[in-house]
Structure 1
Amino acid sequence: MLNLMRLEIIKFKLGSYIKGAVIANFVIVGLILSIMFISKFEGSTDFNNYQEVLTIIDSSVRGTFIIFAATLIAKLIIGEFKSKTITTLFMYPISRKKLIAAKLAIIILFTFCAIVITNLFVTAVFCFISESFQLLPDTLTASMITQLVPSVFMNAIAASGMSLVPLYFGMKKYSVPTTIVSSILIVMVISSNNGGFSLNDIIVIPIALALIGVGIAYLAIRNIEKIDVH
């Protein structure tokens, strides 16, 4: 499995996605800090404490990498079915199930690691600059940090499962645009903030979507032997 994953990473030159993730880190940091500095200079009271900003950071990071995951699904799976290059792979003496499982494992691991690392990086940079320039009237406490870490990991696990949902829509007609658009719609629904409330705050919803995503991945692996690409 690990060897298959390594070969897939080399084949699709997925190092470019890591570079993209690094760029996304700095873009998110820049956007968050821009909003905070503008609010401070205008004397706005839109953000009163760290919890509000940390929630926005977490939501932004998860949304970004759920869409990243959809582009990976489109490249590693949907694109190969659409171009029929997957038929060549199916001719090799390699289990179809292991091949698809390796592709999905890459997507899940990338999404999970990217969300955790980006969340911690953006939060660390923001907190350091916020404390230095007093961007918030609130004070950062040790309890906030201890609560943040498990929350980041749990949200990353849920988002990794959720990121697989677009696979279902993409496999319908082997459509790359449908795969990516469905991920954007999921992010818009889950991450939209209305008066400080989002559907992600209802713990059952992200867990349910994560389980649906895992179920879709399981069915994709289980049924791959029955799929005949012409």
Structure 2
Amino acid sequence: MLNIIKLELKKYKLSGLIKGALIATSIIFLIVALLFFVKVDDELSFENVNDALILIDTAVRSVFIIYAASLISKLVIDEFKSKTISILFMYPVNRKKILIAKLLIIAIFTFVSIIFANTVLAILFYLINSIHPTLEDTFTLALIKKHSLTVLMNALSATGMSLIPLFFGMRKYSVPATIISSIILVSLFSSNSGGKSLNDIVIIPITLAIIGVLIAFFSIKNIEKTDLLL
């Protein structure tokens, strides 16, 4: 399994995936920085440090769920659509192991990227607020501990959710369906009404994460029955 993962990473160039994640993180930073300095009706987009961290976390998860969909398209859907995966299936390697390796790369990369981006952006936000104090409150040890746990749990649920577009992409081996479904998913869980979002209802992200894992499980289970001639 480890050898298959190494081959996949070599094939798709890990450096390219990391570069994409860094670019995504930079874009989120620019947007948050803009919100930090630009006021609407003499008010910032967030009232305190905690609100800012929540905004960063929501933006990070949204971006990387969509990024995960692009990876699913590239590592899985495209290969089925172009039939190039049939070449892999000709080797004496179990089909399930090949798909597991691909989905593990996507899941692990998504999880690590969300943790990394949240950490980097929180540090940058702290430095900006230290140099240019705008918010009255500041980082406290209690806040850092609480936010770290929240980020970890949200990263786990987002990783599970990021696999949901696989279901739509595998229907007709459609890249657009994969990407569009991820955008719709992000729009649903990150939509804000009265300061609350669906993600705040704990059972919803947990349920979506479980659904994502089940979709991956059944995709792997049924891979032996997949007809590549369609």
TM-score bucket of the superposed structures, by smaller chain = over 0.9
* Contact 1:190/1:200, CA 8 A, preserved across alignment: yes
CA distance in 2, matches of 1:217, 1:15: 25
* Contact 2:36/2:45, CA 8 A, preserved across alignment: no
Q: How does 1:29-68 map to 2 (within 5 A)?
A: 29-39=29-39, 43-68=42-67
Q: Report the alpha carbon displacement of residue 46 of structure 1 after superposing the two structures with TM.
A: 4.0
CA distance in 2, matches of 1:2, 1:183: 28
Q: Which deviates further from its counterpart, 105-114 or 84-93?
A: 84-93
Q: Report the alpha carbon displacement of residue 110 of structure 1 after superposing the two structures with TM.
A: 0.4
- Report the equivalent of 1:2: 2
RMSD: 1.3
CA distance in 1, matches of 2:173, 2:61: 25
Gaps of 5+ in 2: none
CA distance in 2, matches of 1:23, 1:45: 25
Q: How does 1:150-161 map to 2 (within 5 A)?
A: 150-161=149-160
Q: How does 1:41-120 map to 2 (within 5 A)?
A: 43-120=42-119
Q: Deviations over 1:81-114 (max 9, x none)?
A: 1001111111110000100000000000000000
* TM-score, normalised with respect to structure 2: 0.96
* Contact 1:87/1:229, CA 8 A, preserved across alignment: yes
* Contact 2:38/2:44, CA 8 A, preserved across alignment: no
- Report the equivalent of 1:223: 222
- Report the equivalent of 2:181: 182
- Report the equivalent of 2:198: 199
CA distance in 1, matches of 2:32, 2:108: 26
The letter of the residue matching 1:169 is: F
Q: Report the alpha carbon displacement of residue 15 of structure 1 after superposing the two structures with TM.
A: 2.1
Q: Which deviates further from its counterpart, 5-14 or 179-188?
A: 5-14
* TM-score, normalised with respect to structure 1: 0.96
Report the identity percentage.
51
Moved over 3 A (4+): none
Task: Give the aligned length.
Answer: 229
Q: Report the alpha carbon displacement of residue 34 of structure 1 after superposing the two structures with TM.
A: 1.1
* Contact 2:36/2:44, CA 8 A, preserved across alignment: no
Gaps of 5+ in 1: none
